[in-house]
Amino acid sequence: MDNILVVEDAPNFLRWVATAITRHFPACQVRMAATARQAESEIATAAPSAVVLDLALPRDSGSEMPSINAGMELLGRLARGSRTIPTIVMSSHSAGEACLAAGASEFISKSSPTVLDDLLTALQAVVPRGDEGGQR
């Protein structure tokens, strides 16, 4: 079974995105991580078909404030990994060009009024649907 990893430290946004992906890709399992370290653990154990990555993340679950550097470092490690994992960056930061240069498959602005549709379209390009009866 394919799985999609959503890496996002804002719990409400994480649930919203995960729910939409589950509805649109019913044959995929959606896994979630709130820190860069949790994401690395999920990637190592679950081998996701795609990653949806927020840039501003805490590195670990301590009291550390989210940092765009943590997301960019994780993106770089994904791009240099032994297995190519399509990575879609969703962020409120204006870092689209830097993310694409670092290896992101797509950059989506969280401030876009079509953010969810943009994400699902980007995922559709990199993850097999499996069940064509899925609903948006």
- Partners of residue 88 on adjacent β-strands: 52, 106
User: Please, what is the average pLDDT of the chain?
Assistant: 86
Q: CA–CA separation, 74 vs 85, rounded Å?
A: 12
Confidence of residue 54 (pLDDT cuts 50, 70, 90): very high
Residue type, 57: L
Question: How far apart are alpha carbons 108 and 119 in whole angstroms?
Answer: 7
| CB 24 within 8 Å of CB 128 | no
Give the pLDDT mean for 38-60: 91
Three-class secondary structure of residue 108 per DSSP: strand
Domain positions in the chain are 3-126
More confident residue, 67 or 6: 6
For residue 130, name the pLDDT band (cuts at 50, 70, 90): low
Hey, what CATH topology would domain 3-126 get?
Rossmann fold (3.40.50)
Could you give the 3-state DSSP secondary structure of residue 4?
strand
pTM, two decimal places: 0.87
pLDDT at res. 84: 83
User: Given its phi and psi angles, is residue 103 left (phi above 0), alpha (psi -120 to 50 degrees) or beta?
Assistant: left
Question: What residues have CB less than 8 Å from 27, skipping those under 6 apart?
Answer: 1, 2, 128, 129, 130, 131, 134
What is the spatial distance between Cα 20 and Cα 122, in angstroms, rounded to a whole number? Answer: 13
pLDDT, average across residues 50-72:
83
